[in-house]
């Protein structure tokens, strides 16, 4: 078709693409932060290890053994915290030890 | 058409593509966390069943079987045709019949010739398993965790 299609800009339609660069520059400007977000490595959350540690501690407590200090982890036995530190994810479980006891564990934030 | 239609169309296509990538990214991350959560729930059912069995042993050794029963409310009786039949007596009376003190051990013996059983269906967030205690269980009073079935 002579002159190209009607809905697209084309020099033969008289559209000289003026302002096109400015629009493209705005795209890049506003989408640059999003490109940085996409390029970020995914934050790896390992709840399974925290859950396994929590269940190990719960088993130790249920068997009336002394709970060891595990570097990098904090624990709760019925809302009383041991080896306190800042954390992101906490996993809790319950055991019957004469009464129902709630045992929680969390990995300390780096 | 108005000026800039190509630019507007191109912008929409690019932004929709990028938004779609973001949604796909979120769905993949959400699926990973969903599966991990289900695995942890299934493990909780297993731990709860083990807690049922180990807490019974400690309750027998400490003599606090009533407290144990009031928490777990199991079915107790004897095995018949693959099923644990509930007997018509109190839990204390049932234990009085099947438990015997043999010095360093307490044994959970058969119930009038049939295999005695104390069972509880464990259901944790849809994951099901059975906690089962049956005869003949030898409970070591000196080391309850060393108890064994024979």
Per-residue pLDDT of chain A (110 residues; tens, 9 = 90+): 565 565 666 777 677 777 778 888 888 888 888 778 777 766 556 677 899 999 999 999 999 898 889 999 999 999 899 999 999 889 999 999 999 999 999 999 87
DSSP sequence for A12-33 = GGT---TTHHHHHHHHHHHHHH
Please check whether residue A59 touches B, CB under 8 A: yes
| Cβ separation A6–B1 shorter than 8 A | yes
Q: What confidence tier does B91 reach under pLDDT thresholds 50, 70, 90?
A: very high
Please check whether residue A28 touches B, CB under 8 A: no
| Cβ separation B33–A45 shorter than 8 A | yes
Confidence at residue A37, expressed as pLDDT on a 0 to 100 scale: 77
Let me know the angle formed at the C-alpha of B110 by B106 and B111, rounded to the nearest 5 degrees: 115
Q: Quick check: B71 pLDDT over 80?
A: yes
Distance CA B107, CA B101 (A): 7
Which H helix or E strand runs over B138?
Answer: strand B137-140
pLDDT tens digit string along B19-68?
777 777 777 777 777 777 888 889 999 999 999 999 999 999 999 999 99
Cβ neighbours of residue B32 closer than 8 Å, sequence gap 6 or more: none
| Cβ separation A7–B5 shorter than 8 A | yes
Cβ neighbours of residue B7 closer than 8 Å, sequence gap 6 or more: A9, A19, A20, A23, A24
List phi, psi (to 5°) of B117: -145, 150
Let me know the angle formed at the C-alpha of B129 by B124 and B135, rounded to the nearest 5 degrees: 130
Please check whether residue A39 touches B, CB under 8 A: no
Tell me whether strands B105-108 and B99-102 are parallel, antiparallel or unpaired: antiparallel
| 0.85 surpassed by complex ipTM | no
Q: For residue B94, give Cα distances in angstroms to A73, B76, B111.
A: 44, 8, 9
Confidence at residue A24, expressed as pLDDT on a 0 to 100 scale: 81
Which H helix or E strand runs over A36?
Answer: helix A20-39
User: What pTM was computed for the model?
Assistant: 0.73
Dihedral of the CA atoms B30, B31, B36, B41 (nearest 10)?
Answer: 90
Please check whether residue B115 touches A, CB under 8 A: no
Distance CA B116, CA B95 (A): 10
Peptide bond into B72 cis (omega under 30): no
Beta strands in chain A (DSSP E): 73-77, 80-82, 87-96, 100-108
């Amino acid at each position: 078709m002579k002159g190209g299609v009607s809905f697209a800009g084309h020099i033969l339609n008289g559209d000289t693409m003026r302002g096109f660069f400015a629009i493209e520059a705005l795209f890049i400007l506003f989408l640059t932060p999003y490109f940085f977000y996409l390029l970020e490595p995914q934050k790896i959350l390992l709840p399974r290890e925290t859950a396994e540690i929590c269940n190990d501690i719960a088993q130790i407590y249920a068997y009336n053994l002394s709970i060891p200090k595990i570097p990098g982890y904090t624990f709760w036995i019925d809302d009383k915290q041991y080896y306190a530190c800042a954390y992101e994810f906490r996993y809790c479980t319950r055991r019957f030890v004469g009464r129902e006891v709630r045992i929680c564990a969390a990995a300390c934030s780096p | 058409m108005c000026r800039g239609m190509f630019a507007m169309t191109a912008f929409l296509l690019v932004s929709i593509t990028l938004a779609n990538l973001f949604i796909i990214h979120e769905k993949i991350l959400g699926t990973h966390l969903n599966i991990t959560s289900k695995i942890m729930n299934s493990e909780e059912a297993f731990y709860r069943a083990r807690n049922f069995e180990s807490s019974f042993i400690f309750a027998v050794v400490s003599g606090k079987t009533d407290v144990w029963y009031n928490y777990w409310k199991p079915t107790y009786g004897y095995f018949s045709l693959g099923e644990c039949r509930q007997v018509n007596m109190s839990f204390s009376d049932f234990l009085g019949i099947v438990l015997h003190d043999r010095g360093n051990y307490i044994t959970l013996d058969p119930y009038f010739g049939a295999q005695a059983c104390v069972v509880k269906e464990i259901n944790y967030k849809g994951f099901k398993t059975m906690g089962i205690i049956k005869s003949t269980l030898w409970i070591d009073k000196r080391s309850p965790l060393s108890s064994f079935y024979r």
